[in-house]
């Protein structure tokens, strides 16, 4: 459109971009006869693809490692200083996120039967009477400020897989 004689402001209205974008692209085209993006610009990556693969492998093998532990493993393997934020970003790009472990209480068939029998005996209780009942095997009690829960690296949608349950 610019080669046909159109103004930069009218060209910018078509794709709904700022005039400075069209101006910069036009200058680039006149200089290089090409308006495509140049490759190789931007911040250089610290790790290689193999290093990222090693990171994902470590995170999947030992899912309870912290970011700091993974960063130190990767730093030792790559021979470069790698920050915790960088490791976290790489794991997120790979689909791994730090999540809490799912805690399930293993109930034996006899225990389930006994609980069902107890519940059937007390089904006529009033809400006030049920208000005083507490099943301690199902409740998480936290006396301290920090819950100190263990975290693990896992993909989204894999919460209830057997490998992700304690």
- Alpha-helical (H) ranges within the chain are 8-13, 19-32, 49-61, 67-78, 84-93, 109-121, 127-130
Contact by Cβ (8 Å): 59, 153: yes
Give pLDDT, residue 80. Answer: 84
Q: Give the pLDDT confidence of 110-146 residue by residue, as tens digits.
A: 988 988 898 899 999 998 888 887 766 655 555 565 6
Name beta bridge partners: 154. 97
- Name the CATH code of domain 45-120+148-165 (choices 3.40.50, 1.10.357, 1.10.287, 1.10.10): 1.10.10
Domains of the chain, by residue range, sit at 2-32, 45-120+148-165
Q: Please state the pTM of the whole predicted model.
A: 0.48
Give pLDDT, residue 124. Answer: 92
Give pLDDT, residue 147. Answer: 61
| CA-to-CA separations, 111 to 3, 87, 106, 116, in angstroms, rounded | 82, 44, 10, 9
Give pLDDT, residue 120. Answer: 92
Contact by Cβ (8 Å): 152, 64: yes
């Amino acid at each position: 459109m610019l080669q046909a004689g159109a103004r930069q402001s009218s060209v910018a209205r078509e794709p709904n971009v700022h005039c400075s974008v069209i101006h910069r692209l036009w200058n680039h085209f006149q200089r290089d006869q090409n308006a495509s993006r140049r490759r190789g610009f931007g911040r250089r990556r610290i790790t290689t693809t193999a290093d990222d693969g090693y990171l994902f492998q470590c995170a999947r093998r030992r899912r309870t490692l912290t970011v700091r532990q993974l960063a130190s493993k990767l730093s030792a393997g790559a021979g470069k200083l790698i920050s915790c934020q960088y490791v976290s970003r790489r794991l997120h790009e790979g689909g791994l996120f730090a999540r809490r472990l799912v805690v399930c209480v293993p109930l034996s068939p006899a225990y389930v039967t006994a609980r069902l029998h107890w519940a059937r005996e007390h089904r006529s209780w009033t809400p006030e009477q049920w208000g005083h009942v507490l099943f301690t095997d199902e409740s998480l009690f936290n006396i301290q400020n920090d819950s100190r829960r263990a975290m693990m690296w896992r993909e989204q949608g894999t919460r209830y897989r057997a490998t992700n349950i304690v």
